[in-house]
Amino acid sequence: MARLSAAQYGKDNIRVYKVHRDEQTGIQDVVEMTVGVLLQGEIDTSYTQADNSVVVPTDTVKNTVYIMAKQHPVTPPELFGAIVATHFIETYKHIHSAQVKIITHRWTRMTVDGEPHPHSFLRDGAETRNVEAVANEGKGIELCSAIAGLLVLKSTGSAFHSFIRDEYTILPEVNDRILSTEVDCGWAWDTFRTLKDVESTVPKFNKAWSNARDITLKTFAQDESASVQNTMYKMCEQILAAVPMVKAVDYSLPNKHYFEIDLSWHKGLKNTGKDAEVYAPQSDPNGLIQCTVTRS
């Protein structure tokens, strides 16, 4: 006999762009997001009995996101996510949980003739600022913030040696190597009881994002890395210390490998070890290192 054990639905990949125009200064600010919403609650009969009377149409979900974006601030994304999630559990009594995921895409103001341009922007990388907001009826709001797609590289200051060697191992030990990765870093906030609690925390969200990004970049650059594992742990420790309202930090760091090319076959040309200058960037396979660090 079959039983529906879990169900959720919603609208994904909702593209939203919002512009704020300061009529006095002529300066405009823009935000572009991709939003996803998933709803849970008393919706089982829509699956098991073809009962659409419990379904909030996914087109309605999409329209709601646009209307919320018009009526409320979309920055910081933690606030907007909490606003949208809370709307669904308060508006529809049979919906008991709403998950909102927001990807904020980069638009950086152009500098023209040494001055910031009032209404022109460029996308200076694939890095995004992400948020997941989950409003659970009677249990508060869970927020997770993240940096994703931040590509970094340093040409020295990284080693990897003293690892397990057995009959399957051919990897050489190195005291100096190129280290490159695409940073995915997330931090989970303490539970917020109400939307008002989220609103009162607004000044801390941007500061936490800046702290996490600065700590990531500074530690990556300055740490004499014995391993990706140890470096990412140091990053987590520092973020927990910098943001008291955060209860957990996680990193996912894939290795972006750059291999030396032996050119000795061409007239004895030296290009390995201390003589290495030309490398071959690799796409896959790649190492993937992950961790979550919480408060003890």
Structure tokens at 11: 């609208």
**CA angle (259, 264, 266) in 5-degree steps:** 115
Please provide residue 132's backbone torsions phi and psi, each rounded to the nearest 5 degrees.
Answer: -120, 125
The predicted model scores a pTM of: 0.95
pLDDT, position 22? 96
pLDDT, position 97? 98
pLDDT, position 106? 97
pLDDT, position 246? 98
The answer to whether 33 and 73 are in contact (CB under 8 A) is no
The ranges of the chain with pLDDT < 70 are: none
Catalytic residue set: 11, 58, 257
The helix/strand/coil state of 1 is coil
pLDDT, position 156? 96
* Residue positions counted in the chain: 296
pLDDT, position 172? 92
Cα–Cα distances in angstroms (integers) from residue 192 to residues 78, 89, 284, in the given order: 11, 15, 41
pLDDT, position 101? 98
pLDDT, position 49? 97
The percent of the chain in helix, strand and coil, each rounded to the nearest 5, is: 30, 40, 35
Cβ neighbours for 267, distance < 8 A, ≥ 6 positions apart: none
Which tens digits make up the pLDDT trace of 12-56?
999 999 999 999 999 999 999 999 999 999 999 999 999 999 999
Please provide residue 232's backbone torsions phi and psi, each rounded to the nearest 5 degrees.
Answer: -70, -30
